[in-house]
Each structure stands twice: as structure tokens, then as C-alpha cells.
Amino acid sequence: MGNLSNLDPKRVFEIFEEICSVPRGSGDMQKIGDYCLEFADKNGLNAYKDEAGNIVIFKPASKGYENSDTVMLQGHMDIVCQKESGLEFDFKKDGITPRIEGDFIKASGTTLGADNGIAMAMIMAILEDKTICHPDIEAVFTVDEEIGLIGASKIDCSGLKSKKMINIDAEDPKTVTVSCAGGCDVEALIPIKKERKPGKCIKLVVKGLKGGHSGVEIDKGRANANVLAGRILNHLSFEENFEIISVNGGDKGNAITNRCEIEIFADEKITQPLKEYLEQIKCEISDREEGFDWEIEMSGGEFDVIALPETEKIVYMLSQVPDGVIKMSASIEGLVETSLNLGIVSTNDDNIGFHFLLRSNKRTALCALEEKLKTFFSLFGCNTKSYGAYYPWEFKSDSKLQEICKQAYKEKLGFTPEIVAIHAGLECGMFADKINDLDCVAIGPEIIDVHTTGEKLRISSVKDIFECVLEILKKCK
């Protein structure tokens, strides 16, 4: 067990250890919010909690910076609560105990919560330090980022004055993030009619696919089990007659589906062309989906069968809906600009539901893709709905803050950081949408295996990034 107060920068790690002791799982923000307000009061700083539970703390500019643009320092308060099987630990009552192993800080059997507790610690160390140079600071600590950017989506920015924003929720100390995707969920409900029939049920389980995060791995060529199911059913429709009993795959819109179960009402002779086609697919995708496998079971009895006209519609839609990368960025090399993921297919009594997660780093492209899906499904009399929209943080080619970051990294760390954009959501997108012409960057120390019990924070990178933040503030004059 190590004492974090022996680490450099000492005050950052002392505050981080205090934060670790406060329960702060997503949806349980009262105690950490109180901690932030008590911190502000102890340091004589103005602060408030908004209706969503977000905390804003103000610090006036140091001498000589009174006329500089206000800078926002931002991070989120909540953590993902994971613990090892069998460990007696209650995230609502128990504090996390950090420990030192070499150049890393870890927890004992739980997530560490460095995502995003270390950002809070850095910001608070800056707020209480009276020796550093900086403009007016608005420190914003949001709630429930991990379950949908909820705090950032609800915050009222009308009273904030910041024109520059430093988000400390990145995990690679060699990069500066300057753009992220926005997204929305789209659900389509396909009406079906069922009738009870005696006969044979062929059950196919498509499994063993890699899956993955639909923002991070969408361009890796990984097969989506739901889309693969549509391809298989479409091929079988040329071979033999069948009717669908059910199709069920996936349970998260933002995960590339790695397993899908299909039940069809058909003669058992369909199993031979089915096996042959599965072997062809295995050969085709073995270079990127080496674990691809399947199970086929056959049973007899009476089954609730989807009528042939609806079966044909479902096969068409499942095999023809867009999925995966739609467009790559022309301005940022290697960036997926627009994509969508068919994360969930579920069969119910009177409909089959398709659940998509759409992403784009351009707002107009996101809206166009949403409209495209709705038009596609409307031709088949399907009801669609959209929800959970959050807008992208678009790249600013004239960003002054990006140039300041490059200079600060070069002077403090000896290298120019890589300027990157990501195809996933960050709170910067919410703030950029609410504050006109906000100049944003996202930076952070190295955190490995976030959201798992193996989460670890590299100690030396905290010192590096903290020094860079101080230098960036100094240059924002």
C-alpha cells in the first residue's frame, strides 16, 4: 500500500485520494457534489449546484490576467462501478482504496475511478493554488457522464462566460483531442402477424464474433451478427421456402453485435444449404473473425410463425439496411466521419424491433443519416422514433487553443502532441453546442483498462499533463 501524498504533484494526488474515498457511482452523485461544494466554501470560492446536480466553481483571474478570456476546466464526477466476483464492496457506501505499483495507481478489486477523478483532482489543485498564473476560471464538474452524458446535456450554460474549454477526460498523454462524434438512437418497429402451425423449427445461433464498441471498432471490419443474420436469411430465400419464428441479437445499441439467434419454420432439408453457406462465410471472414462459429438445432411441434408477407419484408430489411462506416473524413486522415450500428434486433408478440446507434462528427450528416433510415422504414409501414441525441463537436481549423496546447507540450514535455478526432462522444460536444464559438480541447494522463477492475493510472503522466495544463493557462493571456 502506498501513500499518494508522497507523489509529485503532491496536492493533486492528495485530493485524488480524498475523492476516491467518496462514493460516486453513476446515478449516486449527492456525496461527491457535497464534497465539491465544501471544497469551494473552504477555499472561499463562489460555487453552485444546478438542478441536474452539476457543480460549477468560480476562481477569479490572477494579477495581469483580468482582461483575458475566461477558461473552463471540465471533468465529470461519476465512475463506472465494477468489482471482482465475490468481493464484498458496496459502491454506495464504501470508498475506493488506491494503491501504488511502480509507476501506476490501482484499486483493490474494483474500478479505480481515475476516469474522471484525476481530472477533478487536477482542477481542484489549481482552484486552491494562489501562486499560479491564469485567467478567470469556471470549473465545471458534471454528473452521470458514464450513462449518457446526462449532466452535460442538462447543464444551463447561459450564465457561463468561458470562451476556451479544457476537458481533462482523455486517456492518451501524447494526444490532444479536437473533435468527437455526436449520435442518436433510432428504433424501428416492424409490425408482424403470427399464426400457430405444426411443423419443424430450425434454430441457428451465429456466435463467436469479436463485437466491440461501435465508435472505436466500427472501422475494423468486424462482422455484425444481426447483419450477418440478414445475409444468411436472404441467401436461404433463394434456396428453400421458410417463415421466420424469431430473430434476436444484441442488447446494447453501442455494441457491435457478436451473437444472434434465428428461428425459422421450414423443412429440415434447408439445413444442408444452410451449413454449406455458413462454411462459405467462415472461409470469407476467417482473416478478421477467426472465432466465428454456429449452432444448428431442429425441433418439432407447434410454433407461432410470422406470416410469409411479413417474413419477406423482414428478410429484405434485415439484409438491406445500412450498417457500419458510411463515410470517412476528408479533412482528418483515418477518422470515421459517419457510421451506424444495428445493435439490437428483438422479436416481440406483434413486432420486430431494430435498434440503431448513429454517429457522426458532422451535425448535418448525422441528421441526414437519421432521415435516410426513417425514409427506408416508412416504405414498409414501420413506426420509427429517435431519442438520446447529442451533437458532435466539430473540428475548428482556426482554433487558438490547439496552437497553445502544441506550444505547451513542446516546452514542457519536449514533443508536439498528435492532434486527433474520435468517433465517440465526449462532453465537449454538448458544451460546444450550447456555447457559441467555444474553443475546446480534451487532454489527459494515461489511464489503462478504464471501466474494469484492472483500471490503472500512470503516475508520471499525471505530473506531465498537470504541468501542461498550468502552462496552457499561463499562455491564455
pLDDT, tens digit, for every residue of 106-115?
999 999 999 9
* Residue 2: per-residue pLDDT: 58
Just list the catalytic residues: 78, 145
How far apart CA 73 and CA 169 sit, in angstroms, is 11
What is the dihedral sign for C-alpha 383, 216, 213, 217?
positive
- 442 backbone φψ class: left, alpha, beta (φ>0; ψ -120 to 50): beta
pLDDT for the residue numbered 318: 97
Average pLDDT over the chain reads 95
pLDDT(238) > 60: yes
Domains and CATH numbers, the chain: 4-181+393-475 (3.40.630.10), 184-390 (3.30.70.360)
Separation between Cα atoms, residue 451 and residue 438, nearest integer Å: 29
pLDDT band at 32 (very low <50, low <70, confident <90, very high): very high
**Predicted model pTM:** 0.81
Neighbours of 18 (CB within 10 A): 17
Amino acid at 439: D
C-alpha cell at 92: 454506495
444-456, pLDDT tens digit by residue? 999 999 988 999 9
Q: For the segment 159-214, what is each residue's pLDDT rounded down to a tens digit?
A: 999 999 999 999 999 999 999 999 999 999 999 999 999 999 999 999 999 998 89
Which pLDDT tens digit goes with each residue over 33-88? Answer: 999 999 999 999 999 999 999 999 999 999 999 999 999 999 999 999 999 989 99
pLDDT per position as a tens digit, 408-428: 999 999 999 999 999 988 999
CA distance 339 to 369: 9
Rounded to whole angstroms, how far apart are CA atoms 4 and 6? 5
Taking each helix axis from N to C end, the angle separating 459-475 and 10-20, rounded to the nearest 10 degrees, works out to 110
- Measured between alpha carbons, how far is 410 from 331 in angstroms, rounded to an integer? 24
Cβ burial of 391 (10 Å; 0-12, 13-18, 19+) is buried
Residue 418 three-state SS:
strand
296, β-bridge pairs: 204
